[in-house]
Structure 1
Amino acid sequence: MEEMKHYDKAANKFYANLNITELPLAGWDVFSKFFSKVCESLQDINILKGISHEQAWQTVVPFEKEVLKKKHIIVVTDAKLNIVHATQNIYDMNGYRPEEIVGQKPKIFQGEKTCKHTAQRISKAVRELESFEATILNYRKDGSTYNCWIKGTPIYNRKGKVVNFIAFEREVA
């Protein structure tokens, strides 16, 4: 029954924004793919809210806006930079399923052609617990490259301790 709760939320959000009365039969394939993406996004949002609650984040992150409106990929690591969650839309960007990268370090996406200077700048910001924004050449699971815009920031709990890092990402030209 728990999975139906996500379905109902997704259906309500989806149908609330539609202004059509009929959908051609040929359109059901498009509809079902879009609807599946909305369901996955809502599931991710609930997981992210759970992580933020469990870790007692000081910062309230607008997950709905970041995932549903901006279409950002969100990657959350623990304080030691092990990935604890990645939104399911990461697969569309780099071919990795979230469960394949949980427990890995974000460096899994870097390779030979990744700009060392940019990688060092990001590492320095993380070490110094500073927010950063950069575009870096990353590698997909199949070995091909893509430019990834990343906006990252440390996340503090209510006691002032860094408990996570969060990165908002998207592929750019």
Structure 2
Amino acid sequence: MNSFLEYDKGVAKFNQELRLITSPITSWDFYGDIINDFRTINSDAKLINDLGTQSKWLNGNWDLKNILKEEVIVVTDASLKIVFASQNIAKMNGYTPAEVIGNSPRMFQGEKTCSIVSNEIREAIMNKVSFEKKVINYKKNGDLYYCLIKGFPVFNKTGDLSHFIAFEQAA
């Protein structure tokens, strides 16, 4: 077989002889999506691991590849500026990693974001403790979405706060 076209013609002829009225399933699009997702997940996991190694994080035992299949990861420095966002953030809210890096996570908040929940998150961050909250955020196009955020402070080997890491998912 020299091409997929010959294969498709052969399958069509076979199906006609069987008197079936179905078309063959072509899964190359699905395969391409899976391969791209796999590459993205591996790339993001490597970048986060490199950041952890460079910053000498104490707690870096997350199963990042499995987390990245379902969740967006956002990492801020100690001053709460985004230094990393996984590529799948675009699927959740329309922003690319390049558009969010250097900004505060507050960029996702707006008028309908609950100030009580925001204050609870702020308090957890000030106290350097983990938190899990559901918050109303805004997509790039202005649409609202609920976001479940699991945030964790990350400390370096000397015990100083290095970063915050958040595992997020549209809820």
TM-score, length-normalised on structure 1?
0.82
Q: How does 1:25-36 map to 2 (within 5 A)?
A: 26-36=26-36
Structure 2 Cα separation of the partners of residues 144 and 34 of structure 1: 28
2:101 is the counterpart of 1:102: yes
Q: Secondary structure at the match of 1:81?
A: coil
Structure 2 Cα separation of the partners of residues 111 and 29 of structure 1: 37
Q: Secondary structure at the match of 1:26?
A: coil
2:74 is the counterpart of 1:53: no
- Which amino acid in structure 1 is aligned with residue 71 of structure 2? H
Structure 1 Cα separation of the partners of residues 98 and 26 of structure 2: 33
Count of aligned residue pairs for this structure pair: 147
Structure 1 Cα separation of the partners of residues 63 and 96 of structure 2: 23
Q: How does 1:19-168 map to 2 (within 5 A)?
A: 26-60=26-60, 61-68=62-69, 71-168=70-167
TM-score, length-normalised on structure 2?
0.83
Structure 2 Cα separation of the partners of residues 65 and 59 of structure 1: 17
Q: CA deviation at 1:25?
A: 6.4
Structure 2 Cα separation of the partners of residues 90 and 65 of structure 1: 15
- Which amino acid in structure 1 is aligned with residue 76 of structure 2? T
Identical residues among aligned pairs (%): 37
RMSD: 1.0
- Which amino acid in structure 1 is aligned with residue 151 of structure 2? G
Q: CA deviation at 1:47?
A: 0.2
Q: CA deviation at 1:26?
A: 2.0
- Which amino acid in structure 2 is aligned with residue 26 of structure 1? T
Asked which structure has the greater CA Rg, the reply is: 2
Q: Secondary structure at the match of 2:74?
A: strand
Structure 2 Cα separation of the partners of residues 156 and 65 of structure 1: 23
For 2:11, the equivalent position in structure 1 comes to none
List alignment gaps of at least 5 residues for structure 1.
1-23
Q: CA deviation at 1:72?
A: 1.1
- Which amino acid in structure 2 is aligned with residue 135 of structure 1? K
List alignment gaps of at least 5 residues for structure 2.
1-23
After the TM superposition, list the runs of 4 or more consecutive aligned residues in structure 1 that deviate by more than 3 angstroms.
Answer: none
For 1:8, the equivalent position in structure 2 comes to none
